Structure formats: C-alpha cells, structure tokens
Amino acid sequence: MSKENGFGEARETPCLGVSQPISKALPDARDLRLTAQLVECLKNFNLFETDEEMHARIEVLRKLNSLVKNWVRKVSESKLPAEMCENVGGKLFTFGSYRLGVHTRGADIDTLCVAPRHVDRSDFFGSFYDMLKADENVTDLHAVEDAFVPVIKLKYAGIELDILFARLALKVAVRKFLKLLAL
C-alpha cells in the first residue's frame, strides 16, 4: 500500500517482517462481513474475556509491577550507597499474546521483569521468588531456572503468569529510561 508523503508523491509502505505480505489491499465488503462472522463465532465459543476479567488482569499487573519496584529498591539498598537508591527503578512489561491483544480467555500473561545491572539472576530467583512466596495472592509458584529461557511461573489471584528476567546495562534503571521502553 502506498501513502502520500505530503508533497503529492506516493511512497511505498515499508515491510517490517521477514516476508512480504500476501496482499496489501484493504478489506472489501466481503472481507468485513466474514470478519464479523468470525468474531461472532468466537464470542459464541466464549473465547473473549469479560470486562471484569480484563480489569482483574490489569489489577494483577499493577500489583506485580509494584512488587517489582519494591523488590528492586530492597536489593538496591543492600548493594548500593543510599544516595544511588533514590534513582533506582524496575518495571514489569507484558509481551506475547496479551500485549498484542490477541489472548484468549484464561490465557497466561507473559511478562518481563526489567532491573538495573546490580540486580542479578540469583536475586530474581532468590529474594524476588521469596517475596512472591510470601504473598497470599500467589499460588502454584514454580521457578524454572535451568530452562533455555529461565522463568518464574505462578498464579496471582487466579491469573496465570510467566515472569522472565532481564538486567539493563545501566547502574541504575532510571525511571525516565523505563518510561521510554514502555512506548
């Protein structure tokens, strides 16, 4: 599909994938009708979550993000001078089907815990795991440290999550930088 560049000239939309799209044509009336039928079929099979379920997921992510921030602060206080601890930050990001908005009802949420470089993997599978274990909302808690992609699996208030861990190559995961990542 081409777009006008503001000078009356058409420019080609870049392809950002490995392969070219099958078609660049906009949907016609038939495509729109079939899409509506597909959505109705998915609704009939109860594959879309309710508003209450959606809000419950958002609340779980809010609580876990707060837990991550508190954990990063505690680890930082044990490893850094007090004046550096004011600027530390950690954040929980979503990815996968939930982030894309294509998850089904009851699907797990894939998350990534991002922390500064002084917070390491042993902290993640040690003190963060212990914080999760102490939380009354957490059930079915499992650390899978030896996997190709190490992960903590859990249910928080009945919602399944996978939490992966990444350290930034920064002394301090500054809040401004973490906000940039969220865009």
Convert 22-50 to b/e letters by CB count within 10 Å (16 or more is b): eeeeeeeeeeeeeeeeeeeeeeeeeeebe
Instruction: Spell out the domains of the chain, with CATH numbers in brackets.
Output: 51-181 (3.30.460.10)
Give 10's pLDDT tier (boundaries 50, 70, 90). low
Give CA angle at 33 (28, 35), nearest 5°: 95
Mean pLDDT (whole number) for 100-125: 93
Long-range pairs of 140-148 with CB within 8 A, sequence gap ≥ 24: none
pLDDT at 84: 80
Q: Assess contact for 144 and 88: CB atoms under 8 A.
A: no
Tokens of 45: 């099979």
pLDDT tens per residue across span 126-163: 999 999 999 999 999 999 999 889 999 999 999 999 99
Q: What is the pTM of this model?
A: 0.79
Give 86's pLDDT tier (boundaries 50, 70, 90). confident
